[in-house]
Chain A
Amino acid sequence: MPHNIGNAISLVFKSLMNRRATAVLTVASIAVSAGLLSMVERVRTDTQTSFANTISGTDLIIGARSGDLNLLLYSVFRIGNPTNKIAWDSYEKIGSRPEVDWAIPFSLGDAHRGYRVLATDLGYFDHYRYADRRALEFREGGPFATASDAVIGAEVAERLGYDVGRAIIVSHGLTDTSFLTHDEDPFTITGILARTGTPVDRTVHISLSGMDLIHSSGADRVPAPVEGYEPEEITAFLIGLKSKTSIFALQRYVNELEDEPMTAVIPGVALQQLWGLIRVAEYALFGVSAMVVLASVLGLLATLLVSLNERRREMSVLRSVGARPGHIFALLLSEAAMLAFLGALSGLLLIQLGILAARQFALTEFGIQLSVGLRAFDLYVLAGILGIAVLVSVVPAWRAYRNSLADGLTVRL
């Protein structure tokens, strides 16, 4: 008679080992469902954190008139393409307003071996902030000093094996198969930025004069100095304000400026719009994975019910050595709980391994930093699956209880 917990657990375990094939499969199906649910939630939160961490301290992003999200995505996340260019005059006009603390011009549109090229000025290295207002740091070297200098992100350096001093070639357009490869203008890497976990890692930075140099031809090909260089056009620019209180007024001023149609977006607000748009998809994914959990628990229920008939003799033997019907009931409940617990736990642990394996891929391909470690949500998953499993296993436990009252040692099967 199982008169203590240790005995009970060992009895449940031994009974399960006797049916290890079905037990392992049940555990596996619960593990998959628990892992899926945990993964969906983790990717959702980590994506939001990664996106939110990409830009910090920038009050407004200003570019040619387009949708807010389009502007945010191409300027900061290097996703999608700019709709149009804006005149340097507009940049100067807005950048010199009294409420503006700093402005960083961006010019996009070229690539180096799949990595986008961002032409900017030296203010970028001083004012650009990511995560919790962290500034960019150089792992090696320093900012560009001439029109043919380049500063690369940490991932560009690692993936392509570049060091300071290496000459690289920038191609026009975003693929290297483009006919317009600017072979004549190699850039020299002068600096490598420390890893940020943001799209900055996947960017090749050059000066605005460098950008114009590769797009000019013939007699115009005279390298201009980096500092004080004024191109005709840029793609977008970032604004930092002296005080945030002027943000909505400046945004309206830019949006209504008659010189040139432009859009000013507040990064945090535009990101909220993005989450608002994909919320439906998130709910759908979450709903589907919750259904998978339910299905796996129903599978557990089915397995337990099927096993009852073939275990009538086992129950009778337990009864004959002194187990009361209540013990049989408890036995079935603990069996379900053990399967659910093992399943959910192994699922959550497997996901950790999965994240360890996939995090580099997620970072380089999608720019999402997945974090390892159990979270409160994982504990809810564990507790939830355990709770549902115990709840549904009342059905087989009750049947086993009834059987054990009726059956003698010689079971007629």
Chain B
Amino acid sequence: MIQKTRKIRAKTWLPPLCALAIFGLAATSTPAQHVHGVIKLGVVVEGGTVALSLNAPLSDVVGFEHAPESDEQLERIRQAAAVLGNANAMFGLADSAKCEISAMSIDGPAYVTQHLADDEAGPAESHGHDHDSHGSHDSRAAHDDHADHGGHDHAESEQHAEVNASYEWACGNVSAVEDLGLRFAESFAGVETIEIQVLTADGAYVLTADGQTSSVPLSPP
């Protein structure tokens, strides 16, 4: 049977959209790798619940990505753990929304999470990280080092540490939740970009903020 060549419909879409998809490939970071200087926030407003998930490279939070090696670094980690454990200090929801924190979980390297439950825990044991690529271990210098190549593709990303936290608020009057206050930037060591994905009953949208942004709207622009 002779059949005419007939390519898939929507073929005229293919070249431009494939090109776009390739751009998308480049623009979307490989999930398992984090990009220094980029904190990701996911916000879901559903029913009477506001759920928030935060993904941050540890270097953005404390300025380095290894177990603390000095009292100063240990102090930074303790402070960071205290901030992460206090959702209402990191994020602001309108008082009239009557939101109460109902669930919280924080995941990260043991030398961070151990300070969540017990701030008086002893010095963290070494995790055998290879710090050579980070140069000086002074937290300031390490942070500057990262700032220099923010967004760079890290070959040694296996050794990078990140913090994943999720928070849930139960809100008495969820319709009053219009904005999300971002207050964590001043407590973190280096917040350059905050990528925010918001899912509400009205749909999904993405926005980008930086360390100076004090609040973002939780409704489509």
Contact = CB atoms under 8 A, between A and B. Distances in A.
A67 B22 contact: yes
B166 A113 contact: no
A217 B186 CA distance: 64
A78 interface: yes
Interface in B20-51: 20-28, 30-32, 42, 44, 46-47, 49, 51
B155 interface: no
A273 interface: yes
B32 A266 contact: no
B204 A243 contact: no
Contact of A80 (B21, B203, B205): B21
Contact of A365 (B10, B22, B27, B47): B10
B69 to A, nearest CB: 27
A263 B24 CA distance: 13
A255 B12 CA distance: 32
B206 interface: yes
A367 interface: yes
Kindly state the interface size class of chain B when it binds its partner: 35 or more
A247 B198 CA distance: 11
B9 A364 contact: yes
A77 to B, nearest CB: 8
A74 to B, nearest CB: 9
A65 B46 CA distance: 28
Contacts, number: 131
A266 B31 contact: no
Contacts of B203: 52, 268
B8 A266 contact: no
Contacts of A278: 20
Contacts of A65: 30-31
Interface in A223-267: 243-249, 251-252, 255-256, 263, 266-267
Q: Which of B14, B21, B164, B203 has the most CB of A within 10 A?
A: B21
A273 B24 contact: yes
B168 interface: yes
B5 interface: yes
Contacts of A111: 8
B16 to A, nearest CB: 8
Contact of B20 (A174, A244, A274, A365): A274
A406 interface: no
Contact of A175 (B7, B49, B199): B7
Interface string A59-94: 000000111111001000111100000000000000
A66 B7 CA distance: 24
B94 interface: no
A165 interface: no
B25 A266 contact: no
Interface of A (DSSP majority class): helix
A116 interface: yes
A114 B11 CA distance: 10
Contacts of B7: 114, 174-175
B10 A79 contact: yes
B8 A67 contact: no
Given A248-B44, A269-B204, A278-B20, A70 B31 contact: no
Contacts of B168: 245
A365 B12 contact: yes
B53 interface: yes
Contacts of A78: 8, 10
A361 to B, nearest CB: 11
Given A255-B31, A263-B31, A277-B20, A202 B9 contact: yes
Q: Which of B10, B18, B23, B44 has the most CB of A within 10 A?
A: B10
B24 A277 contact: yes
Contacts of B47: 243
A138 B74 CA distance: 64
Contacts of B164: 252
B127 interface: no
Contacts of B14: 79-80
9 contacts: A65-B31, A69-B20, A114-B6, A175-B6, A176-B6, A244-B46, A248-B166, A249-B166, A255-B31
Nearest 9 A/B pairs, CB to CB: A268-B204, A255-B31, A67-B25, A69-B24, A248-B42, A245-B51, A248-B53, A70-B21, A114-B6
Interface of A: 52, 65-70, 73, 77-80, 111, 113-116, 174-177, 199, 202, 243-249, 251-252, 255-256, 263, 266-269, 271-274, 276-278, 364-367
Interface of B: 3-10, 12-14, 17-18, 20-28, 30-32, 42, 44, 46-47, 49, 51, 53, 55, 164, 166, 168, 197, 199, 203-206
